[in-house]
Structure 1
């Protein structure tokens, strides 16, 4: 019988509590052994909820001999630092999107992963949904020549600033905008030569935006978010 995977939860805030832990609790084959958050009350609350043996404020307090993998849900900058900390020590990670604050940081993280026995998965990307895989395949010939892709992505969450940023718009882009942009780059992979953004701000916490991505091959991506 295979031993359960021993998980450390890093970042015990809203995303971990509302989305990741409920999903983990529906899965078998793992055991949550540690909860980490720089707000000790959050770490202890998650410990009580999950039955973890340890609650600490810093990953450096963990005995990694007792951890097989980490689930990380923190803002982008600490996210990349924490993921790299685990990867360089052979601990595989699931890390919430976007996984890092810049392309350069993510490239460095990829290099660290390639030099390690660990694996890293960043959040859920809609390109892996079955329906979108089918659509991508069906439109292959059309997209082989200059074409237009129109993508709409709408969500009520987040409704207030979070992820360590100052505005709801920026928080929304961190949480959801990455999906629309990733789909646009997947359907239209040619280099982006120009970006136009039109933002309608109803109030500080509600907005509508149209983003036009003009591609080097003459294609156009239209994102409505």
Structure 2
């Protein structure tokens, strides 16, 4: 009887550990605000999909402010029924040339999404911004700070770690710009253009290139959890058969 109890407890512990590991997988992958670009080539048009986590504990999210790095002038926010949208414009001291050679006197410095109904802490949403990456930024890492304001408190996802340093507590979403691909005309190959050039692209992914390691860990934890749980079940079944044969 004691052996049976011990075997059953061991199986239960194994199964519980497996479940805990499996549940830890999605948590590990969604711990930060992450960004998933549809394209990363210098000069390419891309749609940035920002996955929003629970950044203020259990307090619902009321506003998200996305700050654009230098070199990005135009931004086309994707309409989201749960949010109102405002583009904040910055005036230049002197006109500048855009990627098409036209003179521009202002840029979109940030985009503000305000929740129509505060987003509960146990739910997530994906915000999409369409823009053109700087043509001369190949090899650079661009940071897109996000200020997450909640009913109570706020979290500023803006910290950028220096090379060799540990990841900060509230890192800014980042993407690394790759070399431009050239077509037969020598132009940068465009991915998904902003709304002025193409319709907004829907996305169901909230992961990011800079969070790739988190995704790998998450998957590994999930698989490990399932294996541990399966081993626990096998042990329980084997012990029960052994008792019946005895």
TM-score range, shorter-chain basis? under 0.3
Instruction: Give the TM-score normalised by the residue count of structure 1.
Output: 0.23
Structure (1/2) with the larger strand percentage = 2
Q: Greater relative contact order: 1 or 2 (C-alpha under 8 angstroms, separation 6 or more)?
A: 2
Structure (1/2) with the larger helix percentage = 1
Larger radius of gyration: 2
Instruction: Give the TM-score normalised by the residue count of structure 2.
Output: 0.21
